[in-house]
Amino acid sequence: MDNPRVVEIYKQARKDFQEFVGETPEDYKVLLFIDPDLHASLYQVIELGGSPFAVLSQEMIDNLRKSRNRNFLPDECISVFPSKPTMIYLSLPFEFKESPDRDFTLRMMFIHAFAHAYFAEKSASNDSEILSEIYRIDMIIKELIVNNVYGLKETKNATWGLPYFQDMVAVIRLLSSFGVQEFYVPPESSRKVSLFQNFLLEVISILNKRAELVKKKHLTGFLREAFANYIHMKIGEKILEKGEYPFSTVPRFLKPIYGPPINKLSYRMLEEAFEEIKDQPQEIIKQTLQLTNDLDLINKAGGGAQVRRLLKELREASQATNVYWHADTSGYWRKTWNIYEHEWDQLDDYIKFLNKNQCRSVGQWLENSKAFQFYGYVKVNSKPVYVFEIDDESISL
């Protein structure tokens, strides 16, 4: 690497993690974007393909929906995809010139990313194993799409192939996730008739397998963030207490990992869950890794009602603290507060839903969700047509 400071900060962050946790993650890959615009282009690649490997993935399409908010909250500097290996994408939220606040920011970004990678390696959750298999399947789907798009362009000079196959895969993926199996599958003998027939034969069975994997995956959004935020916040506190830098307050550059509601809430949930051993961080880390899903963490933190009270307290307090992270002289914070309010609402709804339905896996969440409702069949030109409704606030294609 041309800039030795980046390497030194990386090594120091590894050392910080080793001293606090007891060991370091090993199965991960880091890509650091010196130009943040290149990080933004990652999401454009994902939009064409769909995952950190530039392939279709519902998880990443959900993230793309959130990119609408990123236009108003341009603070994205870290993306972590907890497969094996863990894929870590970092971009510097500043011009990389030598200064203490920039060095500390990059150091904390590395520590936060290492925590996610360590969780993926050590957690009792099935999250990373299943995501690894899903991404592998997605790569196969992506190759099927690309081959068919190329074939259409070569044989028929068709330029509409990519969006056509993307939309088809997205719809089949969505329906199969909710248990729909009744897709038209052409006979094996039709494989050589057309590219389209061959595509259907391959992709439907692959997507059904993918859907079954997705349903088995544990719900770990809170758990993963709680683990990562606990580690980076505790290490950050120690670094600042030692006086290694000429400031005692976390720089605003770090708002992507200190500002979001889920980061604040999950961190406090973990503190509540292990209040009795709060002076034993390595034991807290060990016990957190034994939890498998978000409901386990909610129950450990006192149950749904207690966690919702905690959320309410944090939400009210954040109206003052978030001004530090986001306010400027242009009234920028006034324009973005509603976005953060919406995120708090989503977290509250998620906690209520998990607590009410006792969901531990994606499959259980889908079974109890009203995001997709089937209304039966109607006849159109003597053919049965599947009728369903999608709640666009809950699902995107």
pLDDT one digit per residue (tens) for the chain, 397 residues = 456 888 899 999 999 999 999 999 999 988 777 666 666 666 665 555 544 444 334 454 455 445 444 443 444 578 888 888 898 888 776 666 788 998 999 999 999 999 999 999 999 999 999 999 998 898 888 888 888 888 888 888 888 888 788 888 888 888 888 877 777 777 777 777 777 788 888 888 899 999 999 999 999 999 999 999 999 999 999 999 999 999 999 988 888 888 889 999 999 999 999 999 999 999 999 999 999 999 999 999 999 999 999 999 999 888 766 666 655 555 544 556 666 788 899 999 999 999 999 999 999 998 888 777 778 778 888 877 778 777 655 543 3
pLDDT at 63: 53
Cα 295 from Cα 284, distance rounded (Å): 17
- Nearest of 382, 321, 372 to residue 174 by alpha carbon: 372
- Nearest of 302, 222, 299, 227 to residue 262 by alpha carbon: 222
Q: Are 136 and 39 in contact (CB under 8 A)?
A: no
Cα 312 from Cα 265, distance rounded (Å): 10
Cα 167 from Cα 162, distance rounded (Å): 9
pLDDT at 64: 46
pLDDT at 370: 77
Three-state secondary-structure class, residue 93: coil
**Residue 387 β-bridge partners:** 376
DSSP state of 59: H
CA-CA distances (angstroms) from residue 357 to 143, 299, 312, 314, 395? 38, 13, 21, 25, 19
301 CB neighbour count, 10 Å cutoff: 23
Structure tokens, 175: 């329906």
